[in-house]
Amino acid sequence: MHGSTARRARTWTALAVAGGLAATACGGGKTDDPPAKTPAATVELPRLDGAKVSVAAVWTGPEQANFTKVLDEFEKRTGADVSFVPAQDPIVTFLGSKIAGGQPPDVALLPQAGALVQAVEKKWAHPLGPEARAQLDAGYADGWKKLGQVGGTPYGVYFKAANKSLIWYNTAAFENAGARVPTTWQEFLATADTVSASGTAPVSVGGADGWTLTDWFENVYLSQAGPEQYDRLARHEIKWTDPSVAAALKTLGELFGRKDFLAGGQTGALATEFPKSVTQTFTGGDRPAAAMVFEGDFVAVNIAETGAKIGTDAKVFPFPKVGAKAPVVSGGDVAVALKPSKGAQALLTFLASPDAATVWARQGGFLSPNRKVDPAAYPNAIQRDIAKALIAAGDDFRFDMSDQAPAAFGGTPGAGEWKALQDFLKNPQDVAGTQQRLEADAAKAYGKN
């Protein structure tokens, strides 16, 4: 999945260029095109008239609403009665309680690769049937297929992907400050200084949700330490007390340590949940609560809630490079069957097809790893560029590090990496203490104590 260093360099360059085009080429003219019509069915599904199919996921708000449109299309084509089951993080704990109570959902969307491994190890998950595997073979790069495998057996369909190396900015706030789009970390800090001098906080950080802080760290670490070290840390082959982790935390501290750089300072950032971190960046005209917010392509759905227009009011640039290359971190939600039912396998087949992805792509705030999805399905040029870049990456990408970890370390609110980095945001000078806490929690979660 990792490929050669040269191939990785080309991929990074291609993704950065695509992101750069999105940031600069969409300033004028029409950027929101009429959404593509739902295509004719490309996948055959069985009739499931009257069958009940339940689907669990942690999505809420607009994401849940958009996924429900996908389920509605599945209902229309099969006659099944589909229900959405709201789940909570950590989803493994949530599913464990459902299974213990004898009420597992037919299908679950897991937001961490580590959760898929746990579901298989606990013997909850059922392998993909031949129809779903055929859809994966037709539309997915090997890297995404391998991420859905455990021990070489295909269990999961990565339905929703993410480019988690993007910084979105309020164009009016940038123009008011006379700020420029940065490409390096030092330029990013200089831009933050310029924006701060204009009277607007430079960056909105959703620190109440610890996963956003893991994404900050991972982008800095991947760019600064490089892909090989990133892979080793992801597997816990090196300790979190390693000097490379200290270097990344010190770099991140250059942002987190400046109270004037964060909307509401450190205290305000820790009280801000992810959705608000986005919406407060795109309300208030040229005097928003902050001029920039970091997160993946899925930010688009939250921006849309504010009425700001992507490509005009809201633009995006790649995460600035700290080392030799700009980082590109991917994430995703993997669908897995928790019941050996015909309905579960039919839904997985549908989710692996371009038909299902197209339904959500039209709504925005969505990215599919399925190369069969027509780019015209995405609602604007920025999202099309991001989608094309993901497909162009093929097998060469780095998956979200915390999502690869056991959920106890990388996916639990108020614990593990989430909590350690929240404590670091509160006190960015405590690099050594943060490393000690991270290593202690990682060693326990990875079973190395």
Summarised one tens digit per residue, pLDDT across range 326-345 is 998 999 999 999 999 999 99
Give the mean model confidence (pLDDT) for residues 59-78. 96
Q: What is the mean pLDDT of residues 127-156?
A: 97
Task: Report the percent of the chain where pLDDT is more than 70.
Answer: 90
Greater confidence (396 vs 241) lies with: 241
Pick the CATH number of 52-163+330-396 from 3.40.190.10, 3.40.50.1100, 3.40.50.720, 3.30.465.10: 3.40.190.10
Q: Please tell me whether residue 107 adopts helix, strand or coil conformation.
A: strand
User: Which residue in the block uniquely carries the two structure tokens 């739902």?
Assistant: 38
128-133, long-range: CB < 8 A, 24+ apart: 128/154, 128/155, 128/156, 128/157, 128/337, 128/345, 128/348, 129/345, 129/348, 129/349, 131/345, 131/346, 131/349, 132/157, 132/345, 132/348, 132/349, 132/352
The encoded tokens of residue 137 equal 């073979």
94-99: long-range pairs with CB below 8 Å, 24+? 94/56, 95/56, 95/119, 95/124, 95/338, 96/122, 98/56, 99/124, 99/338
- Structure-block tokens of residue 388: 């094309």
Residue type, 150: V
Q: Which residues pair with 203 in a beta bridge?
A: 262, 292
Q: What is the strand order of the sheet 201-204 is part of?
A: 201-204, 290-294, 166-170, 314-318
Q: What is the mean pLDDT of residues 219-240?
A: 97
C-alpha span between 54 and 42 (Å, rounded):
24
pTM for the whole structure: 0.82
**Residue 190 in this model has a pLDDT that exceeds 50:** yes
Distances (CA, A) of 104 to 55, 96, 125: 9, 8, 11
Q: Which of 4-8, 61-65, 355-359, 387-391 has the lowest mean pLDDT?
A: 4-8
Instruction: Give the confidence band of 2 by pLDDT, cuts at 50, 70, 90.
Output: very low
Domain assignments of the chain as residue spans, ordered by start? 52-163+330-396, 166-327+414-449
Look at residue 199 in the predicted model and tell me its pLDDT: 97
> 394 in the Ramachandran plot: left (φ > 0), alpha (ψ -120 to 50) or beta?
left
Question: Which secondary structure element, helix H or strand E, spans residue 316, and what is its range?
Answer: strand 314-318
Asked if the model's pLDDT at residue 18 lies above 50, the reply is no
CA Rg value for the chain: 21
**pLDDT grade, residue 258 (50/70/90)?**
very high
Segment 244-258 mean pLDDT = 98
Banded model confidence at residue 29, pLDDT cuts 50, 70, 90 = very low
The answer to whether the 52-163+330-396 and 166-327+414-449 domains have the same CATH topology is yes
Instruction: Kindly report which listed range (73-82, 203-212, 324-333) carries the lowest average pLDDT score.
Output: 324-333
CATH among 3.40.920.10, 3.40.190.10, 3.40.50.300, 1.10.760.10 for 166-327+414-449:
3.40.190.10
